[in-house]
Amino acid sequence: MPLMNINFVIASEDPKELSAFYAKINSDKAKKGFNSTHYFISLSNRSKIHFYRPNEKHEWQRKGNSTSLCFQGEPSEYPETIIARWTSEILKMGGSAMGIPKLANFGSEQWMLDPEGNQFLILVPYLSKASDKEPLI
């Protein structure tokens, strides 16, 4: 079997605007895809997130998918501080927070909503010695 990249797709009412939102989170720029209803951002591991508007004849669920993107930051001694800063930046870009940030033994996380109501997670693990904790992934 040939080597394949893992890509993600997000159906969107406004792919250009939504791809720009996620590109800002990833400190990147959205690129135009196959046509005027398709945009994408490239990830550092050769993967991409594609944003597209489904065909009008295709019925699709517009909000609250069961699969979510996770933006994971570098481990930190104070992950809750980074999560608070990221949350503030995402709110300024048009996103919204779901509840309050959570601090757990692995680090800090916050569930967010993009401008179209899709859920995604921001996560910062604790900086720890290799012997302290098992890796998240």
pLDDT of residue 117: 92
pLDDT of residue 4: 59
pLDDT > 90? residue 91: yes
**Residue 38 and residue 32 in contact, taking contact as beta carbons nearer than 8 Å:** yes
pLDDT of residue 100: 93
Sorted by where each starts, the structural domains of the chain and their CATH numbers stand as: 1-54 (3.30.720.120), 64-137 (3.10.180.10)
pLDDT of residue 48: 84
Least trusted range by pLDDT, from 15-19, 34-38, 49-53, 63-67 = 63-67
Quick one: pLDDT band at residue 86, thresholds 50, 70, 90? very high
pTM for the whole structure: 0.71
Least trusted range by pLDDT, from 59-68, 93-102, 110-119, 123-132 = 59-68
- The residue behind tokens 């019925």 is 59
pLDDT > 80? residue 53: no
**Residue 79 and residue 107 in contact, taking contact as beta carbons nearer than 8 Å:** yes
pLDDT > 80? residue 43: yes
Interatomic CA distance for residues 65 and 71, integer angstroms? 16
pLDDT of residue 26: 85
Closest CA to 25 of 76, 81, 79, 73: 73
